[in-house]
Amino acid sequence: MSNVPVQRDLRTTEEEVLQCHGKYRARFKMLFSADRTATDSLTCGVASVGPREPLPLHRHAHPEVYFGLAGMARVRVGAEEFLLSEGTALFIPGNIEHAVHADEPAKFFFAFAADSYSDVRYIYLDDD
């Protein structure tokens, strides 16, 4: 277990691009994840979505939290749709299908109670 503080700067964190079904999708910067930083117990970062960069419909066993930072995104969780905008938070239970779409660029913070992003097993249900 990690027992020292670790500080990261989003501005200098490498951007990664999600690829799903051979298409580039949402972009993200991983702030804390045991496979990238000397941390454990929590995995979090900042994701960016846009008109041609959705986070496709998927699920995973880990619950997740989104917190809107900029812009506005539509988050489908099961049969419901939520608007995620600056200052709003959304809890997504584990194993619930969800997707994120935006008509304009949007950014949100995400977090999992997992040691590492590699522990979160995504199951993609479509490519859009």
CA 90-91-92 angle, to 5 degrees, is 115
Class of domain 16-117: mainly beta
Write out the chain's pLDDT in tens, 128 residues: 678 999 999 999 999 998 888 888 899 999 999 999 999 999 999 999 999 899 999 999 999 999 999 999 999 999 999 999 999 999 999 999 999 999 999 999 999 999 999 999 999 987 66
> Can you give the residue ranges of every domain in the chain?
16-117
CA 97-80-90 angle, to 5 degrees, is 75
pTM: 0.93
Dist CA 72 CA 91 (whole Å)? 17
